[in-house]
Structure 1
């Protein structure tokens, strides 16, 4: 796995061209599937996401219908504009409300991202067998590490590699639809409303990525 990642980064670096002419695009509203995998091949979580690009809200729920022994059970509702998020336990009708110290997430290209390359994935000469993607890189704010994000020409995020200590992750997306199928998923559940923000322990950085560490 690590060798594959190294090769991918090398290919991206050698394919870099005219970076100064590219500006980060903005992802649309989306519904789809997300998988979080460590570089050692451990599936940390796999489930469905709903993303509101204008309101900067994200809901991610582990797939309970097809649970994996190695995956985490998570239900996250994140409000990046407000800087807060909820860890929801629908079964027990409870939740924890916390502050977000880092608002980076895998469904939007950071404004300070650096364009690295445009790549053809697959065989572009055969209809339906090729996909052109843009690759963006940058530093992870409030965390020691780097990221490499691949998006389609229509700004749909396909995958993100996060290189950090102590764990590096690959987050991949699939079955993406450009709509919010269930807006209620982006609303705070009634049993969470009025919940106070929990105190963040000193040295803790709450973020989407840190939820899987």
Structure 2
């Protein structure tokens, strides 16, 4: 894992930029699985996601079907347009409703991202033995750091790298399907309705990435 990450970073950093004629694409509706791993090799989380690209909604549930030692058990429902984050505990029928300060997440390229390069993973000359991706980079608005995201030519997210002074992560996606299989996952659970918005401690920034950094 570490060697693969190092190689990917090297390719991203040594590629030639051609930002003048590329515009960030936006991902379609998706269902799939996501892994969050630190550069030290620690598995932060692994779980299923459902993403509504039009409604700007994301549900991520980790450590359910594939529990791992040290990984986080999370159930997050994020409404990016409304700026609301729900941390859900279905077992205890409870939740926390928080302000979502940053709408950046690993399933969509930010509008201000810069195109870095087009890369081939595997072989570009043997049919069926390679994957062509575009790589985009930018800075993290709420942290001192930057990111690099790779997507397929149809804008399906493959992996995202996040670098900060305190931590670095690689987030990768597998078994992605371009549909919302269970729309109910993007609906606020009944036991969360009417939940008051919690006050955010000074200096705290709630975001998808802040759950792991």
State the TM-score, normalizing by the size of structure 1. Answer: 0.96
Partner of 2:117: 117
Query: Unaligned 5+ residue runs, structure 1?
Result: none
Partner of 2:177: 177
- Write the distance in 1 (CA, Å) between the matches of 2:207 and 2:14: 32
Cα deviation 1:12-53 (Å, max 9, x = unaligned): 243324321100001000000000000100001000000000
1:46·1:71 contact (CA, 8 Å) conserved in 2?
A: yes
| 1:197 is aligned to 2:197 | yes
Q: Give the drift of 1:9.
A: 3.2
Partner of 1:68: 68
| 1:211 is aligned to 2:211 | yes
Describe the shift of the 1:171–1:201 C-alpha distance in structure 2 as closer, same or farther (beyond 3 A).
same
Partner of 2:86: 86
1:16·1:118 contact (CA, 8 Å) conserved in 2?
A: no
Partner of 1:156: 156
Partner of 2:42: 42
- Write the distance in 2 (CA, Å) between the matches of 1:62 and 1:6: 25
CA RMSD of aligned residues (A): 1.4
Query: Equivalences for 1:3-42 in 2 at 5 Å?
Result: 5-42=5-42
- Write the distance in 2 (CA, Å) between the matches of 1:207 and 1:17: 29
Q: Give the drift of 1:65.
A: 2.4
Query: Unaligned 5+ residue runs, structure 2?
Result: none
Q: Give the drift of 1:6.
A: 5.0
Give the SS at the match of 2:31: strand
Partner of 2:145: 145
1:28·1:178 contact (CA, 8 Å) conserved in 2?
A: yes
Cα deviation 1:137-165 (Å, max 9, x = unaligned): 00011211100000000000000000012
Q: Give the drift of 1:3.
A: 6.7
State the TM-score, normalizing by the size of structure 2. Answer: 0.96
Cα deviation 1:157-176 (Å, max 9, x = unaligned): 00000001211110000000
2:45·2:71 contact (CA, 8 Å) conserved in 1?
A: yes
Give the SS at the match of 1:9: helix
> How many residues of Structure 1 are paired with residues of Structure 2 in the alignment?
213
1:59·1:78 contact (CA, 8 Å) conserved in 2?
A: yes
Partner of 2:105: 105
Q: Give the drift of 1:2.
A: 6.4
Task: Write out the 4+ residue segments of structure 1 that deviate beyond 4 Å after TM superposition.
Answer: 1-7
2:63·2:72 contact (CA, 8 Å) conserved in 1?
A: no
